[in-house]
Chains A and B, each alone.
Chain A
Amino acid sequence: MRDAITSVFRRSTEVSEDFYALKDISFNVEQGECIGIIGKNGAGKSTLLKILSRITPPTTGNIISRGRMASLLEVGTGFHPELTGRENVFLNGSILGMSSKEISSKFDEIIDFSGTEKFLDTPLKFYSSGMQLRLAFSVAAFLEPEIMVIDEVLAVGDAEFQKKCMGKMEDVNKNGRTILFVSHDLNAVQNLCKKAILLKDGQISMTGESDDVINHYLHSGSHVSNSWTQKADIKHPYFKKIDVKIGGKQPHLKLTINASVKCFPEMATSFISYDIFSKMGTPIGQAIPKLEPFIKPSGETIDLVSEIDINGFIPGDYYLDAWLGPHFSETYDWQKECIEFSIIESPQKNRTYQHYPAHGFIVPESRLI
């Protein structure tokens, strides 16, 4: 499937310029691929799915699709509380694109998967919300399109049910069906999809292997740099440029700092240190990559690459100070709060509740013995 889409979503009165929910999107999907589509809220993921599902037409561009496509933008679409479970299965199945023959032949499997056999002939309004969800997902699970487009529908339901759904999705993929999967659950995307596309502000920010794309997404706000120029008559060394990248995976994150230092012949041999603060100004740690002074006097600009392990940092915004001097009581250059970086992912896998700075900024690795 090859597509090029631009979509305009016109706001009514105030703004006179057009707002492009998506712009210059173009990508191919081969048969049998499972592609994850990730991005921040507002990046355009749902709009992309709406266009693929023919709900909203693109303003310009076209999509060529080969194969029957089913969209799951929501489970239980069309469910009516007054109708019975049985009736709703037929109604929902038909809305999702199954013929009534198909629904009849798969009916028993659907009911079996949902586990709601006892309540088949009671009106849906008497079902618990969990049962409704299970029934809805069961109908969707037995769709057999060649291409399946899923929008975060697996985000609801209890853990056991989610596992069941993921299992079904994996089966569907193994059977050679193409899946486009939008989710905020990066673990699910990583498990299910080999390739991923990162959308940012309506444009494709990156495509590639899902591991790489997910990493880029998590740390994309954190490739930050800062640069300075000094007056011509300055005689002491200073930072010309600092570049920070976050790499690695929680809980073993690494800051890679690339600093350009302008040296002078009159300087004493110096060293650098980096101070890490929380957004609120709480000092977290001071990293001194090399304890003895090592920056020798010269007339050059040298590049220093340092690596800091920031293991177990909780999600949040952090600042970096960069310091340069021959010894701690004399400062050649001190750039305070020159770099800001963000950590998005929790250091603890599967942790669902928030981290509080009041409990500290580091989550040390621990285990029961």
Chain B
Amino acid sequence: MYICPVEYEIKPHQKLNLGLKEIWLFREMLFFFAWRDIKVKYKQTVLGFLWAILQPLLLMSIFSLAGSALNIPSESLPHPLFTYSALTLWMIFSTGISNAGNSMISNANIIRKIYFPRLIIPISSVLTALFDFLMAFIILIGMMIFYHDRIKFELDKFLLLFPVSIIITVISTFGIGSLLAALTIKYRDFRYVTPFLVQFLMFVTPVIYPISVFHFTGSKYLLAINPMYSAVELFRSGFNGQILELRLVAISLFFAVMLFIVGIYYFRKTEADFADLA
């Protein structure tokens, strides 16, 4: 019935393990954190959860207008669908990592007074972002149905690659989120750095433009370092009929996993000092 283990030893901090078992023990607290964040986010708003849909829709409209004005190609997809699909995935990443850092600071009080595996905080930001994605995804399906005659929808490819792209997004968000969370709590500068980082990353990810605008192969490889590249490409490939450039996807995947490991390792390494720094 109780969360903490019955007999344990408190020792000076040993860094290496992920602490997954402990996170599982504390899963209810994780659920409550995510539930609280989601509820509070939309409390006292008139539109409530609709904002989860409105935000990507509004962004999409802006970028579609800009895109067609600037003649940005959209890989055989209708421009709104091209942008919106990537945006829904991108929102998981951007809100996830922004909230991970800020969440540590807003939960500072709890960190100082209660023991729990601190990784729960970035995980709950990812979960909150995923919840918003669920809302936005429904609209995406609607949009795909609306444009069904203008897209090359391959069901089996989509059903395979779409969950994979979600997983890659979650891994990247969690990895970079944990890294930023640990950095933010120690160096508050990151509170101001993170918005810039997110903005910058969006422009180097093929969200509002396809990677084909870059003709120089070198730049393509550079952009492929971005873990979100593979997530976005894989997601869209289920219905844009394009062939994936597997080498680029592989590079991106590799960096996603690397950042995941680095992020969590750094977080666990510095975890012991959080209560003093919070």
Given the known inter-chain contacts A59-B12, A67-B6, A95-B116, please indicate yes or no for A82 contacting B43, CB distance below 8 A. yes
CA–CA, A151 and B10, complex, Å = 19
B12 shortest CB reach to chain A, Å: 5
Q: Is B258 an interface residue (CB 8 A)?
A: no
Chain A residues lying within 8 Å of B114, measured Cβ to Cβ, are 53, 55, 71, 73, 77-78, 95-96
Given contacts A55-B115, A78-B114, A83-B39, 11 further A-B pairs with CB under 8 A are A56-B276, A61-B12, A62-B9, A63-B10, A71-B115, A77-B114, A87-B39, A91-B32, A91-B36, A98-B3, A100-B28
Given the known inter-chain contacts A62-B11, A83-B36, please indicate yes or no for A55 contacting B3, CB distance below 8 A. no
Q: Is B220 an interface residue (CB 8 A)?
A: no
Q: Are B116 and A60 in contact, with the CB atoms below 8 A?
A: no
CA–CA, A95 and B110, complex, Å = 8
Binary A-proximity of B1-44 (CB < 8 A = 1, otherwise 0): 11110111111110000000000000011001000100110011
Given the known inter-chain contacts A83-B40, A94-B32, A96-B114, please indicate yes or no for A102 contacting B1, CB distance below 8 A. yes
Within 8 A of B (CB), among A256-311: none
Q: Is B272 an interface residue (CB 8 A)?
A: yes
CA–CA, A97 and B110, complex, Å = 13
B167 shortest CB reach to chain A, Å: 27
Give how many A residues have a beta carbon under 8 Å from the other chain's beta carbons: 44
Chain B residues lying within 8 Å of A137, measured Cβ to Cβ, are none
Q: Is B188 an interface residue (CB 8 A)?
A: no
Q: Are B7 and A66 in contact, with the CB atoms below 8 A?
A: yes
Interface of B is mostly: mixed
Q: Is A99 an interface residue (CB 8 A)?
A: yes
Q: Is B215 an interface residue (CB 8 A)?
A: no
Chain B residues lying within 8 Å of A58, measured Cβ to Cβ, are 10-12
Binary A-proximity of B73-115 (CB < 8 A = 1, otherwise 0): 0000000000000000000000000000000000001111111
Q: Is B275 an interface residue (CB 8 A)?
A: yes
CA–CA, A100 and B10, complex, Å = 26
CA–CA, A69 and B115, complex, Å = 11
Binary B-proximity of A42-74 (CB < 8 A = 1, otherwise 0): 000000001111111111111111111101011
Nearest B residue to A94, CB-CB? B32
Q: Are A77 and B113 in contact, with the CB atoms below 8 A?
A: yes
A180 shortest CB reach to chain B, Å: 14
Q: Is A341 an interface residue (CB 8 A)?
A: no
Within 8 A of B (CB), among A82-120: 82-83, 87, 90-91, 94-102
Chain B residues lying within 8 Å of A71, measured Cβ to Cβ, are 113-115
CA–CA, A91 and B36, complex, Å = 8
Chain B residues lying within 8 Å of A91, measured Cβ to Cβ, are 32, 36
CA–CA, A337 and B152, complex, Å = 99
24 contacts between A and B (CB under 8 A): A9-B276, A50-B275, A54-B10, A57-B10, A57-B12, A58-B11, A58-B12, A61-B12, A63-B10, A64-B8, A65-B8, A67-B6, A67-B7, A74-B109, A77-B110, A78-B110, A94-B28, A95-B110, A95-B116, A98-B2, A98-B3, A99-B3, A101-B1, A123-B43
Q: Are B44 and A82 in contact, with the CB atoms below 8 A?
A: yes
Chain A residues lying within 8 Å of B36, measured Cβ to Cβ, are 80, 83, 87, 91
Q: Are B275 and A55 in contact, with the CB atoms below 8 A?
A: yes
Nearest B residue to A68, CB-CB? B2
Q: Are B32 and A63 in contact, with the CB atoms below 8 A?
A: no
Which residue of A55, A80, A87, A145 contacts B2 across the interface (Cβ within 8 Å)? A145
Chain B residues lying within 8 Å of A83, measured Cβ to Cβ, are 36, 39-40, 43
B39 shortest CB reach to chain A, Å: 7
Nearest B residue to A55, CB-CB? B275
CA–CA, A123 and B44, complex, Å = 11
Q: Are A65 and B2 in contact, with the CB atoms below 8 A?
A: no
Q: Are A54 and B115 in contact, with the CB atoms below 8 A?
A: yes
Query: 3 tightest CB-CB pairs across the interface, nearest first?
Result: A63-B10, A54-B115, A57-B13
Nearest A residue to B13, CB-CB? A57
Nearest A residue to B37, CB-CB? A80
Given the known inter-chain contacts A55-B112, A55-B115, A100-B28, please indicate yes or no for A65 contacting B7, CB distance below 8 A. yes
Q: Are A90 and B115 in contact, with the CB atoms below 8 A?
A: no
Chain A residues lying within 8 Å of B40, measured Cβ to Cβ, are 80, 82-83
Q: Are B275 and A63 in contact, with the CB atoms below 8 A?
A: no
Q: Are B29 and A94 in contact, with the CB atoms below 8 A?
A: yes
Q: Are A62 and B28 in contact, with the CB atoms below 8 A?
A: no
Q: Are A55 and B11 in contact, with the CB atoms below 8 A?
A: no
CA–CA, A58 and B112, complex, Å = 15
Chain B residues lying within 8 Å of A61, measured Cβ to Cβ, are 12
Nearest B residue to A67, CB-CB? B6
Nearest A residue to B43, CB-CB? A82
Nearest B residue to A50, CB-CB? B275
Chain B residues lying within 8 Å of A145, measured Cβ to Cβ, are 2
Within 8 A of B (CB), among A201-243: none
Chain B residues lying within 8 Å of A59, measured Cβ to Cβ, are 12
CA–CA, A102 and B3, complex, Å = 11
Given the known inter-chain contacts A77-B110, A82-B44, please indicate yes or no for A97 contacting B4, CB distance below 8 A. yes
Chain B residues lying within 8 Å of A95, measured Cβ to Cβ, are 29, 32, 110, 114, 116
Given the known inter-chain contacts A77-B113, A94-B29, please indicate yes or no for A99 contacting B2, CB distance below 8 A. yes
Chain A residues lying within 8 Å of B2, measured Cβ to Cβ, are 68, 97-99, 145
CA–CA, A62 and B7, complex, Å = 13
Q: Are A68 and B109 in contact, with the CB atoms below 8 A?
A: no
Which residue of B8, B11, B111 contacts A57 across the interface (Cβ within 8 Å)? B11
CA–CA, A63 and B11, complex, Å = 7
Chain B residues lying within 8 Å of A100, measured Cβ to Cβ, are 28, 32
Q: Are B276 and A99 in contact, with the CB atoms below 8 A?
A: no
A172 shortest CB reach to chain B, Å: 15
B245 shortest CB reach to chain A, Å: 46
CA–CA, A102 and B28, complex, Å = 12
Which residue of A55, A60, A82, A102 contacts B113 across the interface (Cβ within 8 Å)? A55
